[in-house]
Amino acid sequence: EAGVVQSPRYKIIEKKQPVAFWCNPISGHNTLYWYRQNLGQGPELLIRYENEEAVDDSQLPKDRFSAERLKGVDSTLKIQPAELGDSAVYLCASSLESSGQETQYFGPGTRLLVL
């Protein structure tokens, strides 16, 4: 069974440019998460979806970040415009449900460098 798929794996852009990341969760997983991992830090949750509904976006910087999960499967995370401080690894994870005992499975991440 395929794991969580993310693309692109790497992205280099200039500041003020837009960028988008795509995630395809494990088949049948209802819950999808986007995390940001800064260098030398652990992942921090940006947004959590249950099916197509964003149920926790309290940590998403809404002035420049947006996300969507159409049809409750794939998801896209967008930054517009990007700032130097957005350089990080963006991780997508999925789980069957959002209960405490469900394991989150992580994709390989998208490494973003903003110049």
Does residue 113 belong to the site contacting other proteins (CB under 8 A)?
no
Contacting other proteins (CB under 8 A), which of 2, 40, 53, 70? 40
- Window of 19-27, 36-44, 65-73, 75-83 that interacts with other proteins by CB under 8 A: 36-44
Neighbouring CB atoms inside 10 A of 93's CB total: 24
Site string for other proteins, 57-96 (x = CB under 8 A): ----------------------------------x-x-x-
CA proximity to 95, closest of 50, 35, 53? 50
Distance CA 110, CA 93 (A): 12
